[in-house]
Amino acid sequence: METRPLGASGIQASLVGLGCNNFGMKIDLEASRAVIDTALEVGITCFDTADMYGKGQSEEFLGQVLGRRRKDIVLATKFGGVAKIAESGERWGSREYILRCVEDSLRRLQTDWIDLYQMHYPDPNTPIEETLDTLDTLVQQGKVRAIGHSNFSAEQMHEAVKQSTARACAHFVTAQNDWSLLNRAVEADAIPACERHGLGQLPYFPLASGMLTGKYRRGEDFAPGTRLAVLPFTQRMASDENFAKVEVLQDFAEQRGHSLLELAMSWLAAQPCVSSVIAGATTPAQVRANAAAAHWKLSAEEVTQVDALASGVPA
């Protein structure tokens, strides 16, 4: 498995990362154990979770399963999602909130340190200076090795860089955004900011809720248990426009002896700012497929052709 640096942190992570959002939500402890064991077996070292996944169970499962192997991975988690999604009114970027959350995460993960601690959503009610100062404290204490953010816009990234530079405190080194061949909005905003500031991008939903695996067909019902069947908010991905793109992208991949899944993962891997592609899994088979999918090294010409196809323009 290829490894890449997480921005300027000096931390090396596997090109394909394991998204742990299914733990405690779609699969139980033993099924999660099988996924984790397989990920380690195939060389995945980047494990991405959050305190909100499975209401804390994702972190708990990782803590229980990893044991001594914890030192062999890059363990990333996030704070702030619980308050944001619950609309609790809490300021999730505040010093008090972060200090409480990091201790809870460390306890659930059964570890003394977090390799990458990420702000899950920007907090409109807390100055970014307070958030950065607090995260800097955690870095100085050794509880956190590096910090990142998720779902930030380019403007929010610029402000964070400006404030961390002015305050000579810890800088965000990574960004997480929803990015795939079917969702490219970030290319006009967040991605140029990542490149400008040297942030390692950790794209999530790289398979567009399963649309880029090829398992969904136009006009057919979603199979029971699949993401599109279970989560209504993801069904917007199953538009006629997206099915048309999927069909031409699948044809492009198959003409070259590859699968649509391989194309989706390898296209992201070909982007200069990408450090690790975060892909979730519920079975060992999915882990193996995801891990192998980024091995296709697309040429510059192929990237240009795929860009055109994904934009609805004939290559």
Measured distance between the N- and C-terminal CA atoms of the chain, rounded to whole angstroms: 31
DSSP the chain: --EEE-TTS--EEESEEEE-TTBTTTB-HHHHHHHHHHHHHTT--EEE--TTGGGGHHHHHHHHHHGGGGGGSEEEEEESHHHHHHT----TTSHHHHHHHHHHHHHHHT-S-EEEEEESS--TTS-HHHHHHHHHHHHHHTSEEEEEEES--HHHHHHHHHHHHHHT-PPEEEEE-B-BTTB-GGGGTHHHHHHHHTPEE--B-TTGGGGGGT---TTSPPPTTSHHHH-GGGGGGS-HHHHHHHHHHHHHHHHTT--HHHHHHHHHHTSTTBS-EEEE-SSHHHHHHHHHHTT----HHHHHHHHHHHTT---
175 close to 271: Cβ distance less than 8 angstroms: no
Catalytic residue among 53, 117, 121, 204: 53
Dihedrals phi, psi of 94, to nearest 5 degrees: -80, 160
99 close to 134: Cβ distance less than 8 angstroms: yes
Q: State how far the Cα of 277 lies from the Cα of 203, in Å rounded to an integer.
A: 5
Q: Kindly state the tokens that stand for 154.
A: 């380019």
53 classed as catalytic:
yes
Specify which residues 27 forms β-bridges with.
23
Catalytic residue IDs: 53
